[in-house]
Amino acid sequence: MNEDLNQPAGTPQAAIALKSQSPARTARALFKTMRPKQWVKNVVVYAPLVFDGKLFDPMLLLRTTVAFVLFCLISSVVYLINDLADIEKDRLHPKKRYRPLPAGELSPRVAVAAAVVLIVACIPLALWLDTEFFLILYGYLALMIAYSFYLKHIVIIDVLVLAAGFVLRVAGGVAVVHVERFSPWLYLCIAVGALFLGFGKRRHELVLLQDGANSHRAILAEYTLPFLDQMIGLVTSTLVVFYSLYTFSAVNLPANHGMMLTIPFVLYGMFRYLYLIHVKKLGGAPDELVFQDKPMFITGVLWVLAVVAVLYLG
């Protein structure tokens, strides 16, 4: 990386670097700040389509895909705002200091302009899909903005809000597909699963940053490893119970209880993630870990195939 671009934003070196950047480099820096790798989190928007047995309905698949794209763009707005809010703290993080904004590769003014454009541009498509979806999408945006500036500084609430974000994504998928029989157990599974990943991520940050944790993210001072381990253990047990209850009690599942055959994939995936955060000291980016860890990735693919087979072939 260019030496000037390693200087904190606001220094003379960073200012010179920003002025000398070409539009193409600025566009690349902006796209990187929008976190396209994080868009995989929005795949849960497809859950209502799949679990309601409508995966092969072309129109509903198109509507859900548009909803997915809109959530990707709005979540990118959240990342832009979050990076703007945390620009000083991110410079203290061993990895986040290389992000375009704290590294001086992207002007805060450009980031603000991009966020405004994306917020406005998504409105017509969201309204075209469904009024309820529009309210959910921009309710998600409002919640995440509140998280960036305030809620992430409140212990436990910070992780609960992130879990709520996943539930809102699923609710958005329900709205565009007009699902009438989406199981409440799936809402609970998604919420608790997000808590499982969220507490795991907090644990990784606490271990990674150690004595400097409080300087980067003040809320980490409110957590301890024993407490996080207890929370992870609690949500692990809860998720197993909730998913198991879903597999044999949801009204829209095959009467032969074939969905129970997918429980081992969920168990192994959770145990593998626990192994990675406790033994391998990973877990800072669960969405990336799923693709980087081959056993996790294979388990995820097998679970999806098993779910589709049970729902559509059973």
pLDDT tens digits, 64-86? 999 999 999 999 999 999 999 88
Average pLDDT rounded to a whole number, residues 274-296: 86
Same domain, yes or no, for 73 and 195? no
Q: Tell me whether residue 231 is in a domain.
A: yes
**DSSP structural state of residue 91:** T
**For 181-231, how does the pLDDT look when each residue is reduced to its tens digit (9 = 90+)?**
789 999 999 999 999 999 998 998 888 776 555 556 678 889 999 999 999
- For residue 18, what pLDDT is reported? 52
Average pLDDT rounded to a whole number, residues 253-282: 92
Measured distance CA(164)–CA(212) in Å, rounded: 28
Q: Tell me whether residue 149 is in a domain.
A: no
> Residue 14 pLDDT more than 80?
no
Q: Tell me whether residue 66 is in a domain.
A: yes
Judged by average pLDDT, the poorest of 13-22, 200-209, 238-247 is 13-22
- For residue 180, what pLDDT is reported? 77
- For residue 211, what pLDDT is reported? 57
- For 153-185, b/e burial (b = at least 16 CB within 10 A) is eeeeebbebbbbbbbbbbbbbbbbbebeebbeb
Same domain, yes or no, for 119 and 199? no
- For residue 20, what pLDDT is reported? 55
Q: Tell me whether residue 148 is in a domain.
A: no
* The two structure tokens encoding residue 90: 């991110």
Same domain, yes or no, for 192 and 87? no
Q: Tell me whether residue 150 is in a domain.
A: no
Query: What is the rounded average pLDDT for all residues in the chain?
Result: 88
Helix, strand, or coil (residue 216): helix
Number of domains in the chain: 2
Share of the chain above pLDDT 70, in %: 90
Residue entry with tokens 């995989």:
40
Q: Between helices 225-249 and 263-278, what is the axis angle to 10°?
A: 170
Domain boundary among 81, 103, 128: 128
Residue 211 burial class via C-beta count within 10 angstroms: exposed 0-12, middle 13-18, buried 19 and up:
exposed
Same domain, yes or no, for 117 and 36? yes
Average pLDDT rounded to a whole number, residues 91-119: 89
Element (H, E) at 6: none
- For residue 7, what pLDDT is reported? 47
Same domain, yes or no, for 314 and 236? yes
- For 229-257, b/e burial (b = at least 16 CB within 10 A) is eebbeebbebbbebbbebbeebeebeeee
Provide the residue range defining the domain that includes 113.
Answer: 1-128
Domain boundary among 101, 128, 155: 128
Judged by average pLDDT, the poorest of 3-12, 94-103, 146-155 is 3-12
- For residue 2, what pLDDT is reported? 43
Domain boundary among 81, 107, 128: 128
Measured distance CA(110)–CA(106) in Å, rounded: 7
Same domain, yes or no, for 89 and 204? no
Measured distance CA(289)–CA(276) in Å, rounded: 9
Same domain, yes or no, for 75 and 195? no
Q: What is the DSSP string of 23-68?
A: HHHHHHHHHHHT-GGGGGGGGGGGHHHHHTT-TT-HHHHHHHHHHH
What are the E-state strand segments in the chain? none
> Residue 6 pLDDT more than 60?
no
Phi and psi at 159, nearest 5°, equal -80, -35
The more confident residue out of 288 and 229 is 229
Measured distance CA(81)–CA(143) in Å, rounded: 12
The one-letter code for the residue type at 188 is L
Residue entry with tokens 């990784």:
204
Same domain, yes or no, for 120 and 1? yes
Q: Tell me whether residue 100 is in a domain.
A: yes
Same domain, yes or no, for 198 and 312? yes
Same domain, yes or no, for 110 and 27? yes
Same domain, yes or no, for 11 and 120? yes
Judged by average pLDDT, the poorest of 42-56, 66-80, 282-296 is 282-296
**59 Cβ contact partners less than 8 Å away, ≥ 6 residues apart:** none
Q: Tell me whether residue 230 is in a domain.
A: yes
**For 139-160, how does the pLDDT look when each residue is reduced to its tens digit (9 = 90+)?**
999 999 999 899 999 999 999 9
Average pLDDT rounded to a whole number, residues 35-53: 94
Same domain, yes or no, for 7 and 121? yes
pTM metric for this prediction: 0.88
**DSSP structural state of residue 250:** -
The Cα-based distances of 116 to 79, 134, 202 in angstroms read 13, 17, 30
